[in-house]
Structure 1
Amino acid sequence: MYVDPPAPKPKAVDERPPATSAGPLDNRPTAWEFNPDYQRLVIAWQTAVPQLEILRTALDKAYNLARSPQTWDAPVGERYVEDIREWRTRLAVYRHAVLTAISDEAHDTPRWIPARTNAPHAFP
C-alpha cells in the first residue's frame, strides 16, 4: 500500500502574498497574484483523488465478493480473484504515480507570482 504524497494546498482565505520591501532601489515587484498554474494543480488533485477512490472502492467491492465462497463453486474462481488482486495493485501504483506527479509539479511551482500591472515604468 502506498501513502499519498503531500497535496498542493489551496489558497487560504486569509493567506497573504510574500512580503516585499518598499525601498526605492528595490527591483522586486510590489504586486503579487496567486499562481494560476499552481491553482490548476490544486484542481487536478481535487479532481483525481475522488475518481481514484471510486475506482478503488469498486475494485475492493468486487474483490471481496469474488473471495466469498458463496460466489464461486469452481476452482476457476481463484483465477478471477488473482486478476482482481492484480488490478487493485495496478490501480495503487497508478494512483501513486499520478498523485506523485501532481505533488512534485506543485512543489516546483511557486504559489505566488509577480502580478502584471499596466503601470508605466521609467526604465523598461
Structure 2
Amino acid sequence: MYADPPAPVPLQPGETPPTAGGPGLPTPDTATAWEFNPEYQRLVALWNEVMPQLEALTASLDKAYQMARSRDVWDAPVGERYVKDVAEWRTRLAQYRQAVLTSISDQAADTPRWVPVNAGAPHAFS
C-alpha cells in the first residue's frame, strides 16, 4: 500500500500574507498587496473533492475483497480467480490514487500560496 502525499494546505484562520523585508515606509516600488492564490485554492478544493471519492472506492473494493476471501460466501475454484481479480483491482486503484494525489500535491508544491495583486491605487499619469 502507498502512503498519500502531503495535501495542499488551505488558508488558515489568521494567516497573513508575506511581509516586505525592509523596515520603513513603503514606496510605490516596494508596496505590494497580496491575495491568497486562486490557483492554489483550486488545488485545495480539488484535493477535498477527490479524497472522499477515492476513499469510497477503496472501501468498497476492500469490502468486496474481504467478502470474496471468506469461505462463507464462495467456496469454489472460480472464487479464487475472483479474489485474484479483486486484488488486482485494489492494486490498480492504489496506483491510480497515488498518481492522482501525487499530481495534485506536486502541483501545489510548485504553486505559490500568495500572489501580489494590483492594489488598484491611483497613480499619476497612468
TM-score by length of 1: 0.92
- The CA deviation string for residues 8-63 of structure 1, in whole angstroms up to 9 with x for no partner, is 00000110000024443x63442100000000000001111111000000000000
Partner of 1:73: 75
Paired position in structure 2 for 1:3: 3
- Retained in 1: the 8 A contact 2:32–2:119? no
- Find the counterpart in structure 2 of residue 39 from structure 1: 41
2:12 corresponds to? 12
Identify the match of residue 59 of structure 1 among 58, 61, 67. 61
Question: What residue identity is the alignment partner of 1:115?
Answer: V
Question: Percent identity at matched positions?
Answer: 62
* Aligned CA-pair RMSD: 1.6
Aligned 8 A contact 1:29 1:114 in 2 = no
Equivalent pair of 1:8/1:106 in contact (CA under 8 Å): yes
Deviates more, 1:98-107 or 1:26-35: 26-35
List per-residue Cα deviations over 1:84-122 (Å, max 9, x = no partner): 000000000000000000000000000000122322334
Counterparts of 2:58 and 2:121, CA distance in 1? 52
Give the TM-score of the pair, scaled to structure 2.
Answer: 0.90
Secondary structure of residue in 1 paired with 2:8: coil
Provide structure 2 residue ranges, at least 5 long, that are not aligned to the other structure: none
C-alpha separation in 1, matches of 2:39 and 2:80: 47
Rounded to whole Å, the distance in 2 between the matches of 1:123 and 1:83 is 71
Aligned residues of 1:17 and 1:112 also touching (Cα < 8 A): yes
Equivalent residues of 1:34, 1:113 under 8 A apart: yes
> For 1:114, what is the secondary structure of its paired residue?
strand
